[in-house]
Chain A
Amino acid sequence: MTATNSAADSQDVIVIENLNKWYGNFHVLRDINLKVKKGERIVICGPSGSGKSTTIRCINRLEEFQEGSLVVDGVEMIEDVKNIEKIRRDVGMVFQHFNLFPHLTILENLTLGPIWVQKKPKAEAEEIAMKYLERVKIPDQADKYPGQLSGGQQQRVAIARSLCMNPNIMLFDEPTSALDPEMIKEVLDVMVELAEEGMTMLCVTHEMGFAKKVADRVIFMDAGQIVEENEPNEFFNNPQNERTKLFLSQILGH
């Protein structure tokens, strides 16, 4: 562990320092530095291929990186599998394509982690699962299979599945990009509620309304680096970088 890490604010739950990643010879992440405080809500935006998904996927080690350091909840990410699994239990993730397990019912999708990873008894796991299904407002779908639910419902189940593991940090990887317009709102509502309860959140999203409403900080990435970060008001009304201005004019222009 480096000196800067130990000097980091104890409130920081994620500390990324000089993170570099290559796919073969392609330099996808370049000198990423990012600190996230407990309870902070961060929105990451940027054009496709800018490395925003890759960045948050590094946090729970779905992606490996070659240089730099990454500390989550005080645990440094190294090759050790134990650390990886420990961090994955602490960090929930919601995917663009939901990735529910199609051969399991909604309830089984939710209880899988608590039963197999946290070794909770089945009854307790089901109780927890029903609590979160109620929170995302679909307790009546518990015995159905993912294929029988609408996209919005599936994404809410995916959020509930992550919450069942009682994570300290939630990562959202374009959670509404695969949804019909009418279903985006129901998912965003759940996310806003979660934010209001003080969950530490990192969201890769292009829902600028969501960013303005809940984000503490908005980060703009392009070409594998962080171009600009600021609190939302400043970010949208007074972008400092030309590249940010161009991006904002393109997505807010119509």
Chain B
Amino acid sequence: MKEFQPIAARQAPIKTVGFTAWLRDNLFSSIPNSVVTLSVIALLAYYLPLVFDWVFWSANFTGTTEDACVKEGACWVFINAWSYQFFYGTYPVEEVWRINLTLVLLVMVIAASFTLPKSIRLKASITSWLLLPIVGIAILDGRWLGLEVVSTDLWGGFTLNVFMAAASIIVAFPFSFLWALGRRSEMPFIRSVSVIFIEFFRGVPVLSLFFMGSVMLPLFFAEGTNVDKLIRVWLVLIFFMSGYMAEVFRGGFQAVPSGQYEAADSIGLSYWQKILLIILPQVIKVSMPNILATFVMLFKNTTFLLIIGIPEVVQTLQTALSNSYWLGGHALEGYLFVFLVFWGSCFSMSVLARRIERQMNTDKRD
């Protein structure tokens, strides 16, 4: 009898790999394609030096006042002089360590969610995530810890954007999961309440929600109670976020095959064990790209807070731009700075999310 002989694997032909092959396939595959490539190169060659010149070569980096900006390029002195306000608003300088500490805690909790030993990771990271908003408020406000009280009127700058977004996301996350569960519920009352909630907060512009939070919400509170403006806005962000996230989760639920529910049932798990141990992890896994998109959207939406006079970073920038000592027209530098800061943060979130996705991807054979 003949013996089965597998043919040894060979290298791919040289034409299909390497740099020149890549160039030919991607940039010069046809005449129109080559024309586009060359025009783009020409445009870049013309404009890039101009941009670089403005940003670097003829930009002003040193100095502390408007007068230091003598060269015709960008006036980075402006950003430098206002950097404290851009990041921390009007938070007292001697107390600013509290903001930094809160930021460090945020980073630590994120890092802990990846690096803790697997046996305690889930419990420890969920607990620390849920504690974080409370701890953060305690540190920033100070009254529960016996520190000097810093009124929320003084909070501001980019860190306020970060804190508002983080605090809303953390609280909204479990809520939105419950809304999504409610929407799938077989109980008509729970289902209709969930549907009404979700559709209301998804169907209303976030700006109008902010106005409602700052103007109308106080009307519902008891006479004499004064709920802090930031807390009201926080509530609005939580509701808005959980409405959106609930729909993201609903998509995730639909992607989990019914066999998973049946298998969980067949080994006798209770309803909540089934949802939390079997379904939720799979829902989060398939929803990860959309969860990130919602996070980024909410984070960027925190700049809308300027409309109701909360001194987040864009509001602070506008204050700086209208300052009588800095009337040289630095809007371009200012907005570029805001772009850069937001883009950097959002890009880091993408990188993080991709890491989570990779970590959760258990389909690949190794």
Q: Name the interface residues of A121-180: CB closer than 8 Å to any CB of B.
A: 145-148, 158, 161-162, 165
Contact A99/B278 with A88-B268, A113-B268 known, Cβ cut-off 8 Å? no
CB pair B362–A60 under 8 Å, yes or no, is no
**Residues B267 and A161 in contact, CB atoms below 8 Å apart:** yes
- Number of A-B residue pairs at CB separation under 8 A: 74
Q: In B231-270, which residues have CB < 8 Å from any A CB?
A: 257, 259-260, 262-270
The answer to whether A102 has its CB under 8 Å from any CB of chain B is yes
Instruction: Encode A36-71 as 1/0 by CB contact (under 8 A) with B.
Output: 000000000000000000000000101000000000
Residues from chain B with a CB closer than 8 A to the CB of A101 are: 260, 263-264, 278, 282
| B269 in contact with A99 (CB, 8 Å) | no
**Which of B259, B267, B278 contacts A162 (CB under 8 A)?**
B267
Contacting pair A92 B266 (CB below 8 A): yes
Which B residues, 293 to 326, have Cβ-Cβ distances below 8 Å to chain A?
A: none
Are B259 and A113 in contact, with the CB atoms below 8 A? Answer: no
Across the interface, name the chain A residue whose C-beta is closest to B264. Answer: A101
Q: Which A residue sits closest to B258, measured CB to CB?
A: A99
A100-B267 contact given A147-B362, A147-B363, CB 8 Å threshold: no
Residue in chain A with minimal CB distance to B281? A103
**Residue B365 at the A interface, CB < 8 A?**
yes
Contact B266–A85 (Cβ < 8 Å) = no
**Cα-based distance from A112 to B268 in the complex (angstroms):** 10
- Which residues of chain B in 332-366 are interfacial with respect to chain A, using CB atoms and an 8 Å cutoff? 360, 362-366
- Interface residues contributed by chain B, number (CB under 8 Å): 24
Check A93 for interface membership: any CB of B closer than 8 A. yes
Are A89 and B268 in contact, CB atoms less than 8 angstroms apart?
Answer: yes
A103 touches B267 (CB 8 A): no
B104 CB–A CB distance under 8 Å: no
Q: Is the CB of A88 within 8 A of B262?
A: no
Q: Contact mask B169-212 → A, CB, 8 Å, 1/0?
A: 00000000000000000000000000000000000000000000
Closest to A158 in B: B263
Q: For chain A, which range describes its interface: under 10, 10 to 19, 20 to 34, or 35 or more residues? A: 20 to 34
Contact B267 A112 (CB under 8 A): yes
- Per DSSP, are chain B's interface residues mostly helix, strand or loop, or mixed? helix
In the complex, B285 has a CB within 8 A of chain A? yes
Indicate whether B277 reaches chain A with its CB closer than 8 angstroms: yes
Residue of A85, A112, A147 near B364 (CB, 8 A) is A147
Across-interface contacts of A145 in B (CB, < 8 A): 362-363
B365 contacts A148, CB within 8 Å?
Answer: yes
- Whether the pair B269, A117 counts as a contact (CB closer than 8 A) is yes
User: Which B residues touch A30, using CB under 8 A?
Assistant: none
Chain B residue nearest to A63 in the complex (CB)? B262
B64: interface (CB < 8 Å)? no
Q: A105's closest neighbor in chain B, by CB?
A: B362
Tell yes or no: B273 within 8 A of A by CB.
Answer: yes
Instruction: Given A102-B282, A103-B360, decide whether A113 and B260 contact each other with a Cβ distance below 8 A.
Output: no
- Cross-chain contact A99 with B268 (CB below 8 angstroms): no
Contact assessment for A95 and B268 in the assembled complex, using a CB-CB cutoff below 8 Å? no
Task: Give the Cβ gap from A64 to chain B, nearest Cβ, in Å.
Answer: 12
Query: Which residues of the partner chain B approach A162 to less than 8 Å between Cβ atoms?
Result: 266-267
Residue of B nearest to A110 (CB): B267
Lowest 9 A-B CB distances belong to which pairs?
Answer: A99-B263, A145-B362, A113-B267, A147-B363, A99-B259, A93-B266, A88-B268, A89-B268, A117-B268
Residues of A within 8 A of B (CB): 60, 62, 85, 88-89, 91-93, 95, 97, 99-103, 112-113, 116-117, 145-148, 158, 161-162, 165
Q: A95-B263, A113-B268 are in contact. List 17 more A-B contacts (CB 8 A).
A: A60-B265, A60-B266, A62-B265, A88-B266, A88-B267, A89-B268, A93-B262, A95-B259, A99-B257, A99-B260, A100-B263, A101-B260, A101-B263, A116-B277, A117-B268, A146-B362, A147-B363
